[in-house]
Amino acid sequence: MAMKILEAQNIIKYFHDPVSVQVLKNINFSVTQGEFISIIGKSGCGKSTLLYILSTMDTDYEGMLYIEGKSMKKLKEAELACVRNEKIGFVFQFHYLLNEFNVLQNVMLPGLKLAKYNKQEVEHRAFEKLKILGIEKEVYKHPNQLSGGQKQRVAIARALINDPIIIMGDEPTGNLDKKNSEIVFDIFKQLSEEFNQTLLIVTHDNEFAARTHRIIEMEDGIILKKD
């Protein structure tokens, strides 16, 4: 039986500004190793909010979150940063690449921070990841010299650098055109199939979702259907 790598139990989230609103109402679900999951739902139903909680960036919630069986509830800010560094890879709608660094350095940064490998090894691994994503020719360019699709692929390479147990994406194709969206989806699919990478991707693109292993549908802060 495959391992549960992430589990959410009774997650509740309120926003208090300007008025108290409950945006997540008792969310329960788990992710097992190797799954390719998409979260869909209308705009404003709480998908991003949930993803930020699952990614440990948002700590202001009720309920329990387990990553590899370990509760994230009591961890300090620096410990959570380590969890994100080592175990989670992120892809957002916007690429968030650092313009002061070239493509290679951008991909290397989380790897250097983890310091599991030395600089040469991290560089070598960054090359490999960029090769998987088909942008090994752009390594010495700066982010502002790349197209939107290329930037997003660099962001995916950066998410992969530490071999995370899960990749989380918040509408990673939201800013891309049809063709580039297709490329990004194919990359996710390849990661899932070839490398058995676990992926949890928020999307509003139903066509995209339909091609994943499992669809979690949300509405007004609750999960409608988990497949």
Partner 1 sequence: MKTRLLVQISYSLLMARWKQTLVAAIGVTFSITMFITLLSFMSGLNDLLDGLVINRTPHIRLYNEIQPTKKQAVELSSEYKNNHNFIHSIKPKNELQQIRNSGAIIQSLKKDNRVLGVAPKINLQVFYNVGTTDINGIINGIEVEEENRLFFFKDYVTQGNYIDLKNISNSIILGKGIADRMLVNIGDVVQITTSKGERVPMKVVGFFQSGLQEIDKIQSYTNITTAQKLLGESNAYVTDLQIKLKDLKQAPFLAKEFASMYDVEAIDIQTANAQFETGSSVRSLISYAVGITLLIVSGFGIYNILNMMIYEKMDSIAILKATGFSGRDVKKIFIGIALSIGVFGGLLGLFFGFGLSFIIDNIPFNTAALPTIKTYPINYNPKFYIIGTIFSILTTYFAGYFPSKKASKVDPVVIIRGK
Ligand X SMILES: Nc1ncnc2c1ncn2[C@@H]1O[C@H](COP(=O)(O)OP(=O)(O)O)[C@@H](O)[C@H]1O
Contact call for residue 81 and partner 1 (CB under 8 A): yes
Selected binder of ligand X within 38, 48, 152, 198 (CB under 6 A): 48
Q: Which of 4, 50, 55 is nearest to 30 (CA)?
A: 4
Min dist. Cβ of residue 213 to partner 1 (A): 25
Q: What angle do CA 97, 48, 142 make, to 5 degrees?
A: 5
Q: Is 20 in the site for ligand X (CB under 6 A)?
A: no
Which of Mg ion, ligand X, partner 1, none is residue 192 near (CB under 5 to 8 Å by kind)?
none
Report the alpha-carbon distance of residue 38 to residue 227 in Å, rounded: 11
Cα–Cα nearest to 153, from 202, 198, 97: 97
Beta bridge partners of 91: 169
By the rule CB under 6 A, 215 interacts with ligand X: no
Distance separating alpha carbons of residues 139 and 159, to the nearest angstrom: 16
Question: What character string, x for contact with Mg ion (CB under 5 A) and - otherwise, covers 44-63?
Answer: ----x---------------
CA distance 59 to 158: 24
Binding site for partner 1 (CB under 8 A): 48, 52, 55, 57-58, 77-78, 81-82, 84-86, 90, 92-94, 96-101, 109-110, 112-115, 118, 158, 170
Binding site for Mg ion (CB under 5 A): 48
